[in-house]
Amino acid sequence: MHSIMLKAKLHRAEVTHAVLDYEGSCAIDGEWLDLAGIREYEQIQIYNVDNGERFTTYAIRGEEGSRMISVNGAAAHKAKVGDRVIICAYAQYSDAELVDYKPRMLYMAPGNQLSHTSNAIPVQLA
């Protein structure tokens, strides 16, 4: 049996660029891609916290250390500079791989400062 699971998440990153006249995709600081385990050209989902838009694109490598989140091409209509977004990547895992499975999550503070990393989402209280 195989399950599609959350592989990686950048939580509440701020969009730094929205470039309509670009080939497409989302440029993400290369250091964050490496920390999260997201590969260049990997499919990602972007959830815009500020306007509710949800869309699919792929990741491309942004300049290391730039704190860049650049939403490009048609997706630039769905996010503007300053919007807070959640960027997720998913992957398919076998039952055996899920025994010790943990996603990689990066949590951002204002100004796209990396606040902390985690491999578990806290239990939501009632």
pLDDT digits (tens, 9 = 90+) for 61-115: 999 999 999 999 999 999 999 999 999 999 999 999 999 999 999 999 999 999 9
22, 58, 90, 101: which is the annotated catalytic residue? 58
Q: What is the pLDDT of residue 1?
A: 78
- Whole-prediction pTM value? 0.95
Q: Rounded to an integer, what distance in angstroms lies between the CA atom of residue 41 and that of residue 61?
A: 9
59 a known binding residue? no
75 a known binding residue? yes
Query: For this structure, is 25 an active site residue?
Result: yes
Select from 61, 76, 81 the least CA-distant residue to 19. Answer: 76
Q: What is the pLDDT of residue 35?
A: 97
Tell me which architecture the domain covering 2-118 has in CATH: Beta Barrel (2.40)
Q: How many CB atoms lie within 10 A of CB 34?
A: 12
73 a known binding residue? yes
Are residues 35 and 117 in contact, defined by beta-carbon separation less than 8 angstroms? yes
